[in-house]
Structure 1
């Protein structure tokens, strides 16, 4: 994985899956150097990508279309944006919405006028329209109405918006969906996975959101100029830099990590490898210490600006703020005289900090070590066909061993207790999106999706009773084909140790937002703000440079 010479120097072991793959810890994840938007920004800068806006055909009401172009060494991508005059009573973040303030498609290459006309007939309708293999993503966004109007009004009068209001929201618009990988006619992942700039996970989607961020500022400045004329001013550079793109995400995202076990393994193992490499270092240079302290201070500022009213997140934020102060105080004496100073710092964190603080510390200690960990981003994709074929020649004894080793957490649960199977996952017939039902009160349990891997492992073990260790899995599955799904997952988990979430995903204690936060942290999301246990708002690219002025800042 990554540079073999560096890997051989790793003397500290990765944290085991029994620690890493628990929901409470996954739900405390923080963005880091290996997060996908950071990977994208580094590649854009190192590859000397250029950006422009060749089309801006938007009227004084903010209605029209625009094109944002990203030109790389080998290929060009364009975000085609459509801006709409949406009545307030039609604005909704729910997946069942049918109209939005803006809609987008990421186009592969330079679109012609005919392409733009075709997209204008389809993109504003999202799921009700259709796009082609020339498009890599389909998305939509709504205004943060209060802040958006405030910024337009202030800029139109020649004034800057209130900094406190800007910090309180953190974005002018929020996406409510960013579809890729073949949905609604877009190019399938396999069509673009071989491109160097898109090989890492979700690079097309991250590029789409980053270009959308530029649009959100351009449209607010355009409307301010239309309203205020010569008196209008542009947004202050510092205030502008503090804006991201919001995102409103519901249950549709939660099952992704369960449905992609090899991909999940590669994400988690890569992150754990990066941590192990840093902990294995025997020195801490002056530059590394300075970078660590700078990252810690930035995290303190970020945590102070991070707001939520959800009681779970309020508690987590209190833990985080206290832990970051403890980390900052600890760094006054860093590095220690230990042979492995980074490992000593990490062990102190495990003994002292909450899970929230420990995962924040992970992000901090990776920050000064780009040369050591950035190359690992090449290990985060997955060939998911590799685990599809079941090995029927495995013995029952071998399968039992896998269940004991990889699913011991599941075999300890008593699934006859109602609390341990209180919920069930299903797919909404209306929107074809994942949903979570209450087994005691909701209809539809007969349509349950196989996301309860713990219970499936427990049921598989029960069915193995009476079979000899020397019997073959092929013979067992001929008798019990209902266990094919779980046998396949067990064989995947045998080869990919971080493939399974090691918690009961149908218990009454399970919080879907833990799954969401883990995935969103890998995206690079900040300011995680749950609105319930089933949906959340976050911000992307906050603090990053903008495409049209990338040369102004250094992307780390």
Structure 2
């Protein structure tokens, strides 16, 4: 079959009923369509240069700096502020009020007066006032052990311990990267049509990449020496992400559909390639070895997470064994590999899918243009009840169950007043169920199904039962946006929010997920990414490995 918009040969996309299950979403890996990869390709194509017009840091590394870069015909500047934070005030929680460093991505090159304003306000974060020239607001804390070790090593005239650098992977970790009008900064509409920032989370990704460069400069400044280039490339930006991110995929169904559709279309195009070139075959062999090394370096304390990694380590040599010269030189090798791999775990399958997409930039990179969307789910009031019921039978059968059963309504989502972020409560043992957030999409659709009358239009149904408005809209939308819904019960006993987090973070470009429970994880962004002076070869860092 042909892809309708681009007239590019493509296999059928994998069915949403399979792709959108939580377990498979929680096996997601970054791909060349991930947002960081897209951003750095753009910077590379434009020959972007990063300058540092301001560096006012004392010997201990406290002060401020400004970094400027051109992108899409505009200039953006990161204003970085480093402060002396007492150890007892250092916390990664979103409710913290002080951090080691604070940042603003500024629209343009700030004047001295604007720099002074940001230096005074950025460390206060949510408590400060900002302008529509401030595009992104962020903060980060040091990985104290590694940062101090690197400084001490450089001061002593040696490089830091490679194993410690490998195992930690970052000098600082962000605790928030805010965009889109939060706390008075610029709305996305200000930059949504600008080349380079028109894709999802591009301003935030630019901020993270520039912060990463600042952390390198800061540790070298305090240490008084230059960090080894291999170690520097391996040092990305850490992040601790919890339940606050999980509801995003539920509240932005059309955006989720756009992201998954792009990835699945990329895979479908690659599976439709009849014969590989020798260069593509060599790339796939090289990337298969890289993935094996990545898995060998990836260790976590979480039992579930480590068991999945262990199984991938067992299965990956079998994947490599499938890539015989006969298969790779034969017809439709990618499709053949994906079909055989269906016997492996979801994690191994998704890693293989990401790998197969990697060497085909010319074939798939245009898909990133469709990953930002202003599409909204529209309600059709003229639809008959029979047609609405048919949609539920076709796409929502998994949602129909007895939600009075304890296992089916085991959890409830709410927003903590004290911690100002989403939380999960246990319905049958904890108070607060009356404060539940409406993330129970499956239960809402089940209740809708029970109230449908075959000969009644949706308009009349909603006049009679207005509480079903959201469910009707989502049911109707799924008919044309098949990847818009997580096809699992998000209040059920088996729901692991970590799977939702990993899916979203993989689109950011995160790797080496380090879950600390089923509700929050640490990640590393920009690990292995090109440095500011390496953008001429910006696109070969899928699944970073340690190469000092």
Give your verdict on TM over 0.5: yes
Residue range with higher mean Cα deviation, 154-163 or 486-495: 486-495
Q: Shift in Å at residue 211 of structure 1?
A: 0.2
Aligned position for 1:364:
355
| Distance of 1:114 and 1:507 partners within structure 2 | 53
* 1:308 has 2:300 as partner: yes
How many Å separate the matches in 2 of 1:330 and 1:511? 32
Q: What corresponds to 1:491 in structure 2?
A: 476
- Map 1:123-202 to 2 at 5 A: 123-202=122-201
- Gaps of at least 5 residues in structure 2 are 541-548
Equivalent of residue 299 in structure 1, options 280, 284, 291: 291
Contact residue 2 and residue 375 of structure 1 kept, 8 A = no
Aligned equivalents of 2:272 and 2:223: distance in 1?
A: 54
Moved more, 292-301 or 1-10: 1-10
Q: Distance in 1 between matches of 2:479 and 2:511?
A: 33
The whole-number CA distance in structure 2 between the counterparts of 1:451 and 1:507 is: 11
Select the structure that is richer in helix: 1
Which residue in the other structure is 1:507 paired with?
Answer: 492
- The 3 A distance-change label for structure 1 pair 551 and 18 is closer
TM-score (norm 1): 0.94
Matched with 2:539 is 555
Distance 1:53-1:30 versus aligned 2 partners, 3 A rule: same
Between 484-493 and 19-28, the greater mean CA deviation after superposition = 484-493
1:383 counterpart residue number: 374
* Local SS of the residue matching 1:543: coil
Q: 1:284 aligns with which of 272, 276, 279?
A: 276
Q: Residue 338 of structure 1 contacts residue 344 of structure 1 at CA under 8 Å; is this kept in 2?
A: no
Residue in structure 1 matched with residue 243 of structure 2 by the alignment: 251
Q: Is the 8 A contact 1:252 1:435 kept in 2?
A: yes
Query: How far apart, CA to CA, are the structure 2 residues paired with 1:391 and 1:379?
Result: 25
* 1:529 shift after superposition: 0.3
Quick check: 1:270–1:376 contact (8 Å CA) kept in 2? yes
Provide the C-alpha distance between the structure 2 equivalents of 1:288 and 1:65, rounded to a whole number of angstroms: 46
Whole-angstrom distance in 2 between the partners of 1:276 and 1:324? 22
Following TM superposition, by how much is the alpha carbon of 1:130 offset from its aligned partner in structure 2, in angstroms?
A: 2.2
Residue of structure 1 in register with 2:527 after alignment: 542
TM superposition shift of 1:434: 1.4
Q: Is the 2:255–2:373 Cα contact (8 Å) retained in structure 1?
A: yes
Q: Contact 1:7–1:277 (CA<8 Å) still a contact in 2? A: no
CA RMSD of aligned residues (A): 1.6
Deviation at 1:455? 0.6
The yes-or-no answer on 1:9 pairing with 2:9 is yes
- Measured against aligned partners, the alpha-carbon deviations of 1:473-502 in whole angstroms (never above 9, x if no partner) come to 001101111111111111211221111000
Distance 2:326 2:160 in 1: 40
Deviation at 1:322, TM superposition (A): 2.1
SS at match of 2:386: helix
**Take 1:475 and 1:286, find their aligned partners in 2: how far apart are those partners?**
62
1:207 is aligned to 206
Deviation at 1:3, TM superposition (A): 7.8
Q: How many Å apart are 1:415 and its aligned residue?
A: 1.2
DSSP-derived class of the 2:407 partner: helix
- Structure 1 equivalent of residue 544 of structure 2: none
Provide closer, same or farther for how the CA distance between residues 248 and 50 of structure 1 changes in structure 2, counting only shifts above 3 A: same
Asked whether the 8 Å contact 2:72–2:195 carries over to 1, the reply is: no
Kindly provide the CA deviation profile for residues 273-315 of structure 1, in whole angstroms up to 9, marking residues without a partner as x: 1101000111011011011111111112222221210001110
Instruction: Please give the alpha-carbon distance, in whole angstroms, between the structure 1 residues aligned to 2:7 and 2:536.
Output: 35
| Number of residues of Structure 1 aligned to a counterpart in Structure 2 | 540
In structure 2, the partner of 1:437 is: 425
